[in-house]
Amino acid sequence: MRQITLRIGGMSCDHCVRAVRTELSKLRGVELDAVDIGMAHLRFDPSQTTVDQLVAAIADAGYDVLEPVPW
């Protein structure tokens, strides 16, 4: 498993947190450690999910990844 922190722009409330959590939870091999306003800390299996897929899931929720930070 690889650990990563994603800085996320545009999040401002609990609804935003739930939307991001929901989309990331749909991906195979992803374990969410914490999703907070502006940030998601997670572990993922790179053989099942890529960083690009994580970024796309957050975009599907309506937000932008500002930068991925290895954790």
CATH of the domain at 26: 3.30.70.100
| Number of domains into which the chain is organized | 1
Residue range 7-56, pLDDT digits in tens: 999 999 999 999 999 999 999 999 999 999 999 999 999 999 999 999 99
Residue 57 vs residues 23, 35, 40: alpha-carbon distances, Å: 5, 14, 12
- Do the Cβ atoms of 69 and 4 come closer than 8 Å? yes
Cα–Cα distance, 60 to 50 (Å, whole number):
15
Q: Of 63, 68, 56, whose CA–CA distance to 19 is shortest?
A: 63
Cα–Cα distance, 11 to 8 (Å, whole number):
7
Residue 60, classified by CB atoms within 10 Å of its CB into exposed (0-12), middle (13-18) or buried (19+), is middle
User: What is the residue range of 44's domain?
Assistant: 2-70
Residue range 45-62, pLDDT digits in tens: 999 999 999 999 999 999
